[in-house]
Structure 1
């Protein structure tokens, strides 16, 4: 994680990072035929570049000088044919490069999203979601240009330069020297441009990531922004980030605005020198008019790939920076290891043995926790906010791994179970219910096609939510919009109970499952909860002590430690932590 964050602000390094390029080429392997076809067509296109000036020279010095109209027509036909072939090659290059780039970024995006799906929750605690969006969308899109204007295109430009220089010296070495005397100026300006734009592009990518992070976070928390009248403050923050984004882009545009006119002036200077020297040679009959014309064309063809190489080098640099960031995410080992191979139908016996856990490996939120839950029993956890209640259920499903101790299910360490097998048998109903922008049915089944509509309806009737769903437009096919925005908190909670029921878990976890609903709704789902818990091991976290008085065991947590343990009556007799909590809540209910 530190690597990823650090890379946001570090300047880009080497253009040709061989390790990164090697990794990048691994994604090309499935498309080797297309890639080598692209390389071949680029080389063919580069090989044809010097042909047209030579044909022009031959035409001027031959048929045109001799007044041979038939010869002129023949040469025109050959040149038209060459132009058509070049156009076809250009079309093939563009299509193959685009096809290759889009298929590769599709593969990388699939791999990256698959990786993100399996990262442990701690990673998302530390990483802004906007940065992950930037990785998955913007950075990967940048890679498409690496294949359309990157390595293969640069190789083609270099080959074209070599061929043109060879043909020029073969044609006339004196004109060649005159033509190429401006190259040092072009190379110096190109190098300066490359270095400036390289740094600028990296700053642009950082600005994009910051912009994405800010927008995603603040749109998600828009209700808080408006509740506390923070619109102006947040707008000012956004304005500053946006200004930074604009300035970095303008800086990049400025470098292009300077470089291209300078490059044109240098190319024009080379053309002027050829015309001046060539005219003197023509007057002395030492060179033909056709040769001078060909060299004017050579200069234009020669300087174009030099300018393109500078641009493509920067495209490649952007690709290297984006690839480096993507590979850091792909290589991240911040995921829950799935080394377990045990697949079994759980009975539901749970045991924590001397468990220590910290989110940051320093400040323990659970300290030497030990308890047992027998099959079919209900254990409830109570305590103040931050006591460690929610951490216990996160550890049971291996959303986080413990620092010390053991967590056993059916006398086997949870790490022995195959992760999917473990989680599909633990049903969790959270306080903050998340619904996707989809239908009610899809939010209940979560895409599991083995769950039939009949089973959904049966569970909905058990919870008591079926009539409410049928009153909605399209019933179970009603789209709840993003995060279930069209439903109330209580309605979302009821749907989460249906979701837990249809997956038929062996262990049920209720994390403040009724704390967000009113008394009437709580009464509606309480009987359904009792049915859901029947025959299953249940772990309940609740602020409302009235909902857990029937639990087989109540564990009182304070600052990550077990303070008391027993059933409701036993804990009241102790007149300790639990009794104080009960009396405080009793007063709140009847004052």
Structure 2
């Protein structure tokens, strides 16, 4: 590989050997399952080289036979030529099929691995990839990056062999003319020097701009109702047009580069052809070269010069593939989530303990600082405090979405990082305030709580969450499609399905981010009763938005600015006249004047 690249002057002209080696090392595991297809492509390549040399000889011999009036030889050569040209058509079909098949299968495998990688990225890393940009990497970037796995890969072998074979045949026909013509090959490489680096830079900018466009489209579709309600259509339309115009500008720049590249290579090819034709015609006139040899020479000449220009085109394609591959490598290079140890985990009990736990999200300020508390097995604990106090951060740490900057979290006196992430999360049911449902049916969404659950288990969980009657009232019942993110359902219905999903999981640890916040008063009471039953004999942590819902908690932890500032029962905290007492009395006064449904983000989250 290195010798081939160096032979065509690729090293140092925008594509380093290190990058090329990394590119193909990355793709080799995806090549191996399809080695038979590559063997077929190589066989076709060898046959094509033989066919090209045959055509040159065919033109020489049939021309000379015609000039000598050997009609029988002409007809025999025509019959042989028709047979071989028919075989060439079959080979062309096989080449197209094999190349397309291999490319698409490799693309499928890379996409599957990239998607799997995205699913396993730590939350802290995943937040750095916009969902639209991630989609762009999965679709456009993978398609471009795998462009060098089919015919392009074979051409890296085919073109230099074709050039060498053509030169040997041309040298046999006319030594001086063949040496003169091959000198045009290095001239073609000047196009690589002039254009390849700029094509690489422009290609990378195009991939990045596509990610921006995908991100904008995704945000616009997800926030469609907000855009309409705030009459922001013209603003987002302007942003999209601006992003699209930037991409079109890059495309036009790429077209200019490719056009200039093509112009240079065509000029070299035309100059070589005209020179060989003129000098060869002079040799024919002098009687030192036959007409058949001249015809064979000029027909084969393109296969001497074109591999140089062809390799230049391969470099251009490789530039685009490398630019796209770099964006894929950015994802693959992110360390996956640390799995943890292999400590054995019990199904029952499960006390929790935070010991001097701190978390620094961005390197400048701790989200929580030196939090220490203990939660006995089976206890119901509430987390309360102002917005940004760090309550959700504790949930994220328990689920190991993030690792503590310092301190430890213990589960039954064992640090949670000694358990595997999968085992730990199997023991936790998490009901977020902002419910997320997946496209599909209600039954499918419920079964995500426990994929092995039976239909009777699903029915029972739905009844416990007070959603069964609503579901059976739908035309297709549990097989009703709920649309993207469940947008065909109301907020309360989505929340109850989320609660049913958590009930179905039946985990011994519950994390509830005010699971009844999206429900009306009547439904809230029914759901609260179901949750009260569910919380029995389970370790439960509730983030409370309305303090009236956690008065019966075994303990209440009050957080402020990342610190645990108070803890105790509702009665104890009221008499301490601290932050909890202040927030409770503030809510109580608002409810007395008719503020029943509060903005959960206004003061307490």
Return the offset for 1:47: 3.5
Partner of 1:97: 99
**Structure 1 residue corresponding to 2:238, chosen from 236, 239, 243:** 236
SS of equivalent residue, structure 1 residue 508: strand
Whether the 8 Å CA contact 2:107–2:142 is kept in 1: the answer is yes
TM-score, L = length of structure 1: 0.93
CA contact 1:355–1:367 (8 Å) conserved in 2: yes
Please state how far the C-alpha of 1:96 moved relative to its aligned partner.
2.0
Q: Is the CA contact 1:194–1:311 (under 8 Å) kept in the aligned structure 2?
A: no
Match of residue 224, structure 2, among 222, 225, 236: 222
Deviates more, 1:118-127 or 1:144-153: 144-153
Following superposition, the deviation at residue 109 of structure 1 comes to 1.6
Aligned partner of 2:5 in structure 1 is none
Specify whether residues 126 and 199 from structure 1 end up closer, same or farther in structure 2 by C-alpha distance, changes over 3 A only.
closer
Which one of the candidate residues 16, 19, 23 is aligned to 1:20? 23
1: CA distance, partners of 2:348 / 2:160 = 65
Work out whether residues 340 and 419 of structure 1, in 8 Å CA contact, stay in contact via their aligned partners in 2: no
d(CA) in 1 for partners of 2:341, 2:112? 23
Residues 341 and 39 (structure 1), Cα distance of their counterparts in 2 relative to 1, 3 Å cut: farther
Q: Distance in 2 between matches of 1:508 and 1:456?
A: 19
Deviation at 1:496, TM superposition (A): 0.7
2:126 aligned residue: 124
CA distance in 2, matches of 1:120, 1:262: 48
Shift of 1:516: 2.6
CA pair 12-322 structure 1, distance change in 2 beyond 3 A: farther
Per-residue CA deviation, residues 515-553 of structure 1 (Å, 9 max, x unaligned), is 232323312311111111122111111111111111010
In the TM superposition, residue 455 of structure 1 has moved relative to its aligned partner by 0.8
2:551 to 546, 549, 554: 549
2:35 paired residue number: 32
Deviates more, 1:322-331 or 1:574-583: 322-331
2:82 matched residue in structure 1: 80
Kindly state the Cα deviation for residue 143 of structure 1 after the two structures are TM-superposed.
Answer: 3.1
Call closer, same or farther: CA 1:90–1:143 in 2, change over 3 Å.
farther
CA distance in 2, matches of 1:511, 1:517: 13
- Who is 2:9 aligned against? none
**Counterpart for residue 254 of structure 1:** 256
1:286-305 paired onto structure 2 within 5 Å: 286-305=288-307
Does the aligned pair in 2 maintain the 1:459–1:501 contact within 8 Å?
yes
Counterpart in the other structure of 2:378: 376
Residue correspondences, number: 580
Contact residue 507 and residue 537 of structure 1 kept, 8 A: yes
Q: Deviations over 1:469-502 (max 9, x none)?
A: 1111201111110011011111111111100001
Q: How does 1:1-400 map to 2 (within 5 A)?
A: 14=16, 17-61=20-64, 63-180=65-182, 182-333=184-335, 335-400=337-402
Task: Specify whether residues 572 and 195 from structure 1 end up closer, same or farther in structure 2 by C-alpha distance, changes over 3 A only.
Answer: closer
Distance 1:146 1:520, change over 3 A: same
Separation in 2, partners of 1:244, 1:377: 57
Residue 149 of structure 2 aligns to a residue whose secondary structure is helix
Distance 2:193 2:131 in 1: 37
Match of 2:10 in 1: none
| 8 Å contact from structure 1 (residues 175, 295) kept in 2 | no
Q: CA deviation at 1:341?
A: 4.3
Partner of 1:27, secondary structure, is: helix
> Which region of structure 1 is more displaced relative to structure 2, 274-283 or 531-540?
274-283
Q: Is the 8 A contact 2:449 2:505 kept in 1?
A: no
SS where residue 348 of structure 1 aligns?
coil
- Name which of 428, 431, 434 aligns with 1:429: 431
The question of whether the paired residues in 2 share the 8 Å contact of 1:344 and 1:421 is answered with no
Query: RMSD between aligned alpha carbons?
Result: 2.1
1:177 deviates by: 4.0
Indicate conservation of the 8 Å contact 1:430/1:510, yes or no. yes
- For 2:78 and 2:379, the matched residues in 1 are separated by 93
Aligned partners of 1:336 and 1:400 also within 8 Å: no
Q: CA deviation at 1:206?
A: 1.8
- Aligned equivalents of 1:77 and 1:131: distance in 2? 57
Gap change, CA 1:13 and 1:309, over 3 Å in 2: closer
Q: Distance in 2 between matches of 1:429 and 1:112?
A: 28
1:499–1:74: structure 2 CA closer, same or farther, 3 Å change rule? same
Report the alpha carbon displacement of residue 40 of structure 1 after superposing the two structures with TM.
3.2
Task: Tell me how far 1:180 sits from its aligned partner.
Answer: 4.0
Q: Within the alignment, does 1:483 sit opposite 2:500 as a pair?
A: no
Residues 53 and 294 in structure 1, CA contact (< 8 A), matched pair in contact too:
yes
d(CA) in 2 for partners of 1:178 and 1:353?
81
The CA distance in 2 between the partners of 1:237 and 1:272, in whole Å, is 52
1:582 aligns with 2:593: no
Q: Report deviation, 1:154.
A: 2.1
Query: When the two structures are superposed, what TM-score results if normalisation uses the length of structure 2?
Result: 0.91
Instruction: Name 2:416's counterpart in structure 1.
Output: 414
2:136 and 2:268 map into 1 onto residues whose CA distance is 39
Distance, in Å, in 2 between the alignment partners of 1:91 and 1:344 is 61
Q: Which whole-Å deviations, capped at 9, do the CAs of 1:139-170 have from their partners, x for residues lacking one?
A: 11113321124232121011111111111011
In structure 1, distance between residues paired with 2:547 and 2:570: 9
Say whether the 8 Å CA contact 1:123–1:334 is kept in structure 2. no
1:261, CA displacement in angstroms?
A: 4.2
